[in-house]
């Protein structure tokens, strides 16, 4: 557990800031990147992020008529895929703390005719405004590392998940030793430059690279999931550990 997140300070990339300051700084980052978010994801990962997300969705266990929650849902791509799994008789709720991202996501879902059966709610992942035991599956893709107190978010997601349900966390993680040197060069040199060229925003993508490095690695996050109340937890490395899919089970 990150000791910094037990008191009044936490990490914002490589900086140590107050918890209140981190919340505001993360908001500024996503206000800045909202309109270019999907384009930058495609460029940064060469489209592989879509395969990572598809793999996560293959593990939901959702069926027609079930209820799914996508936390930090951003531009709505995960919510749209969840909707396909639960069908018209089911329900998908997409949340995000950032109004700019949520506005972008709602607009894109509306344009694609996929807003039906999707509720869009602005809220904090640490304090989800739902009764306990509500959802058959909870997903969060590339959002947990931006949460101020991750332990609170994990407990909140556990609370709203039904017994027998799953939590799926897709997040950047610690790559294997073979990939690490190349990944570091890409993260701290190419990635911020790409952000500057495409989105006119080097600083936000510098934060992205730093936030990945201070995020808990695979083993640590697995233990955090268990500490939040989940009965079982496992993870699967994707693309050499650059990304990991964590699964928490509420039996």
Residue 134 domain-assigned (yes or no): yes
Handedness of CA 35, 242, 185, 48 (dihedral sign): negative
This prediction has a pTM of 0.90
Residue 210 domain-assigned (yes or no): yes
User: Of 92, 88, 208, whose CA–CA distance to 139 is shortest?
Assistant: 92
Convert the pLDDT of each residue in 12-22 to its tens digit: 788 887 888 88
| Helix 19-33, helix 37-45: angle, nearest 10 | 90
CATH number for the domain that contains residue 87: 3.40.50.150
Residue 13 domain-assigned (yes or no): no
pLDDT at 23: 81
State the total domains in the chain.
1
Output the average pLDDT for the chain: 90
% of the chain beyond a pLDDT of 70: 97
Residue 171 domain-assigned (yes or no): yes
The string over 140-156, giving b where at least 16 C-beta atoms fall within 10 Å of a residue's C-beta and e elsewhere, is bbbbbbbbbbbbbbbbb
Residue 240 domain-assigned (yes or no): yes
Residue 169 domain-assigned (yes or no): yes
Convert the pLDDT of each residue in 33-55 to its tens digit: 777 777 777 777 888 999 999 99
pLDDT at 1 over 50: no
Residue 236 domain-assigned (yes or no): yes
The two three-digit tokens of residue 26, written as one number:
């993360």
Convert the pLDDT of each residue in 180-220 to its tens digit: 999 889 888 888 888 888 778 888 888 888 998 999 999 99
pLDDT at 167: 98
Q: Domain range spanning residue 65? A: 19-250
Per DSSP, the three-state class of 185 is: helix
Query: Exposure of 164 by Cβ count < 10 A (0-12 exposed, 13-18 middle, 19+ buried)?
Result: exposed
Residue 208 domain-assigned (yes or no): yes
pLDDT at 2: 47
């Amino acid at each position: 557990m990150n000791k910094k997140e037990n008191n009044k300070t936490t990490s914002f990339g490589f900086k140590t800031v107050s918890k209140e300051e981190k919340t505001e700084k993360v908001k500024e980052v996503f206000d800045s990147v909202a309109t270019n978010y999907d384009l930058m994801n495609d460029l940064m990962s060469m489209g592989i992020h879509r395969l990572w997300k598809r793999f996560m969705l293959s593990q939901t266990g959702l069926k027609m008529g079930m209820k799914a929650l996508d936390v930090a849902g951003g531009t709505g791509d995960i919510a749209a895929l969840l909707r396909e799994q639960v069908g018209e008789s089911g329900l998908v709720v997409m949340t995000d703390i950032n109004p700019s991202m949520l506005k972008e996501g709602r607009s894109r879902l509306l344009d694609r005719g996929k807003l039906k059966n999707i509720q869009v709610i602005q809220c904090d992942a640490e304090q989800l405004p739902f009764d306990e035991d509500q959802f058959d599956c909870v997903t969060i893709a590339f959002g947990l590392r931006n949460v101020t107190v991750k332990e609170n978010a994990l407990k909140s997601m556990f609370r709203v998940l039904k017994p027998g349900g799953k939590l799926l966390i897709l997040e950047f993680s610690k790559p294997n030793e073979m990939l690490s040197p190349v990944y570091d060069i890409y993260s701290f040199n190419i990635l911020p430059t790409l952000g500057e060229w495409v989105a006119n925003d080097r600083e936000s993508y510098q934060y992205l690279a730093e936030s990945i490095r201070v995020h808990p690695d695979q083993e640590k996050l697995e233990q955090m999931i268990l500490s939040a109340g989940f009965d079982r937890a496992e993870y699967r490395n994707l693309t050499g550990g650059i990304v990991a899919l964590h699964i928490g089970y509420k039996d």
